[in-house]
Structure 1
Amino acid sequence: MPRYYELRDDLHHPGRWHLRSPVDEHGQKLNPWQFTESRRLEPQGHIRFPVRPDGVTLDFTQDAFANPVLHARVVQLFEHMGIQEVQFLPVQVDGHPGPYFILNALRILRCIDEARCAEVQYFTPEDGQPEKVGEYKYVRGMRIDPAKAEGARVFRAWGWDALIVSEDLKQALEHEGLTGPVFTEV
């Protein structure tokens, strides 16, 4: 059975930078959720990320909304591995030479194995958000059903903001010695 991992950035990396919300060339905030909808996006002009606090750059990091931002080294690895389930959107990170890119995962798969998760809570009518009733409110100790991953190498788990990668991609990222990625088996 294939193994999968949630990919996040290392929040405990000593002296690390922290990327804020993406903005356009005029400093106006962009909708950060558009990068989690797993749909191909048209070029949007100049996207940049303010950095506060500044610090050690990471090859893989996430902005304030958990959108993955990658150095070109990571993009080259994805391309070398022939991974086509993603879109790379060029961005600028204030005060740091790039190039950098937002990783836009183009697949969402309904694969969370609720019975194997440590805890799953759903939105109810009492939460006051009728459009979300029945959706995930909280998932702790997430586990997925590998059979429902359909052999994908990069995807988002439906209903929960998690970026999932296959074991071969995890191993390749680790082998490259990139800074920033942290993996949790799901």
Structure 2
Amino acid sequence: MDGTGQQLEDPWQFFDGKRIESHGTIRFPVKPDGETLDFTLASFAIPVVHERVVDLFLHQRVQDVQFIPVEVEGHKGPYFILNTLRTIRCIDDARSAEVQYFTPEDNQPERVGEYRVVSGMRIDPTKVGDAQIFRPWGWNVALIVSEDLMDAMEAVGITGTKFEPV
């Protein structure tokens, strides 16, 4: 919800890899209430993190992120949307278990050539460079962190994360 209590007009904006201007105070209702975590995915898989994650990212000098303050109903914060500002064309189609692309037959001409399915994703590490956190071009539902950042998150006990090698 935005500052006026209305649903956000475009929740997918948090997957575009672009800095976002303030919408006022964004509020997340919590249903059902559960365990408080440092990292969680809200509606539409929007990453929401506790201040502990922000502090760690600052300590690790993580670039290419924006932290947008939010309120999480019934939970002491501060909390933030983790908006990743970097997208890298790095999916290794040959090494991934399955990739499918939109075709003209899918009747979505604006998406022809984009990924329709990616499973068992593997990336080409030579295309990633020194990126510590990013989304892969064409499959921005994935959020990828470097091994160093993963190790740092695990070392300080950041809760709510689940890492899979890509």
Q: Does TM, normalized by the shorter one, top 0.5? A: yes
Q: In structure 2, how many angstroms separate the alpha carbons of the residues matched to 1:45 and 1:176? A: 31
- Alignment of 1:24 with 2:5, yes or no, is no
What is the one-letter code of the residue matched to 1:24?
A: D
Corresponding residue to 2:135 among 156, 165, 172: 156
- Alignment of 1:177 with 2:151, yes or no, is no
Q: Are 2:63 and 2:132, in contact at CA under 8 Å, matched by a contact in 1?
A: no
Match of 2:58 in 1: 79
**Which stretches in structure 1 are left out of the alignment for 5+ residues?**
1-22
Match of 2:92 in 1: 113
Match of 2:80 in 1: 101
Aligned length in residues: 164
What TM-score comes out, normalization by structure 2 length? Answer: 0.96
Query: Runs of at least 4 residues of structure 1 off by over 2 A?
Result: none
Give the match's secondary structure for 1:114.
coil
Match of 1:144 in 2: 123
- Relative to its length, the structure with more strand (as a share) is 1
Match of 2:106 in 1: 127
Identity of matched residues, % = 64
Give the match's secondary structure for 1:147.
helix
Q: In structure 1, how many angstroms separate the alpha carbons of the residues matched to 2:130 and 2:61? A: 14
**Which stretches in structure 2 are left out of the alignment for 5+ residues?**
none
- Alignment of 1:51 with 2:30, yes or no, is yes
Instruction: Give how far 1:25 is off.
Output: 2.3
What TM-score comes out, normalization by structure 1 length? Answer: 0.86
Q: Which has the higher contact order (CA 8 A, sep 6+)?
A: 1
Q: Are 2:101 and 2:117, in contact at CA under 8 Å, matched by a contact in 1?
A: yes
Deviations along 1:115-136, one digit per CA (max 9) or x if unpaired, are: 0000001111111111101100
Q: In structure 2, how many angstroms separate the alpha carbons of the residues matched to 1:114 and 1:151? A: 21
What is the one-letter code of the residue matched to 2:157?
A: G
Instruction: Give how far 1:48 is off.
Output: 0.8
What is the one-letter code of the residue matched to 2:12?
A: W
